[in-house]
Amino acid sequence: MILIDGNKVAAEMKQEITEEVKKIINNGGKAPHLAAVLVGHDGGSETYVAYKIKDCEAVGFKSSLIRYEDYVTEKELLAKIEELNNDDDLDGFIVQLPLPKHISEQKVIEAINPKKDVDGFHPANVGRMVIGLPSYVSATPFGIVELLKRYKIETNGKNCVIVGRSNIVVRPLSVLMSQKAVNATVTVAHSRTENLEEVCRNADILIAAIGVPEFVKGNMVKKGAVVIDVGTTRVKSDLTKSGWKLKGDVLFEEVAEKCSYITPVPGGVGPMTRVSLLLNTLLSAKGEIYK
C-alpha cells in the first residue's frame, strides 16, 4: 500500500506557483491578488480562511481578508461582492461557505463575476467545465485529479465510484473523471444506492465524499483499489490541544491493508484543495480562462 502524500505534492505545486509569480514580477507584472470574505466565526471557516491567506503569502500573492459579523445583511454582502467584482487590482475572490441562514448562498454565488470566481462555484463556471470549456474548476475535484496524475495512477478505462452528491465536490469530480484527459467510467453512488457495498467493491478508484466519518469499511473495498478520502469531519478529541481532530470518510485501519493507494486524513486531499485555489488565482492573473 502506498500512502498518497498530499502535503508533498502540494508543496511541489506551491514551489511551481512561486516560480511563476517571480517570473510575472520580473517581467514587470503585479503579484496575483486573492481576497477572501469571511462571515461570522465558525471554527472550521476561520481555520480554512487563515490557511488561504497564509498560502497566498507563501507563494508571493497579495491577499485581502474581508470580515463581517454573522448579522451582516444579504444586501450588505451583495454590495461588497459588487465592489470586489469591480476592483481591478483583484484577480479573484471567494466567499467562505457556509453562510448564516438568513443569507442565500446561491444568490451570493451567482452575484460573483464568473471571471473572478476562483472557487469555480458560479453556474457559468460549472457549466463551462461540464462541456469542456476553459473554466475555474472547484478546488477539491481539481486537486484530486492532479493528485492521481502526479502519482501516475492509471485511470484510463477504470471503474471510478464516487460516494456522495455535493455540488462542490461530487458533481464536478464525476464530470472531470469521465473527461478524455482522465477516461474513467464513473458511477455516482449515495445513501439511496441499492447494494452500495457491492457497487463500491466494483471500484478500481473509490472516492469517498459523503461527509460521514469512517463510512467506507474494509468490506466495501476491492483488493488493490485506489482509495481517495475527501472527508474532513471535526470530531471531539481529548488527545489534541484544539480539542478536536479531523476524521475522514474511510475507516483507514481496515481499508489501508486492502488497497494499493490511499490518501490519509489529514495530509491527503486537503492540501491539494488549498493549492488548487492558488492555481485558479494564478490562472486568473494570467488571463488564461476568460481570454
User: Which of 35, 39, 139, 272: binder of ligand GUN (CB under 6 A)?
Assistant: 139
Q: How far apart are CA 127 and CA 124, in angstroms?
A: 5
179 catalytic residue (yes or no): no
Residue 97 as a binder of ligand GUN (CB under 6 A): the answer is yes
Q: Name the β-bridge partners of 59.
A: none
Active-site residue (options: 14, 52, 80, 247)? 52
Listing DSSP states for 235-270 in one string gives EE-SSSTTSEEEE-SB-HHHHHTT-SEE--TTTSHH
Between residues 119 and 146, which has the closer beta carbon with respect to ligand GUN? Answer: 119
Q: How far apart are CA 128 and CA 60, in angstroms?
A: 29
User: Which of 9, 17, 95, 279: binder of ligand GUN (CB under 6 A)?
Assistant: 95
Residue 96 beta carbon to ligand GUN: minimum distance, rounded to whole angstroms: 5
Q: What are phi and psi of 117, to 5 degrees?
A: -85, 75
Which residue's Cβ lies closest to ligand GUN? 97
- Give the three cell numbers for residue 55: 498560502
Q: How far apart are CA 128 and CA 227, in angstroms?
A: 28
Q: How far apart are CA 201 and CA 159, in angstroms?
A: 10
15 catalytic residue (yes or no): no
Residue 96 as a binder of ligand GUN (CB under 6 A): the answer is yes
Listing DSSP states for 5-16 in one string gives -HHHHHHHHHHH
Q: Which of the ranges 79-87, 92-100, 204-212, 239-247 carries the binding residues for ligand GUN, by CB under 6 A?
A: 92-100
Active-site residue (options: 55, 91, 119, 229)? 119
Between residues 155 and 273, which has the closer beta carbon with respect to ligand GUN? Answer: 273
Residue 141 beta carbon to ligand GUN: minimum distance, rounded to whole angstroms: 10
Rounded CA Rg of the chain: 19
Residue 140 beta carbon to ligand GUN: minimum distance, rounded to whole angstroms: 7
Residue 175 beta carbon to ligand GUN: minimum distance, rounded to whole angstroms: 17
Residue 94 beta carbon to ligand GUN: minimum distance, rounded to whole angstroms: 4
The DSSP call for residue 211 is: S
Interaction site with ligand GUN (CB under 6 A): 94-97, 119, 139
The residues annotated with a catalytic role in the active site are 52, 96, 119
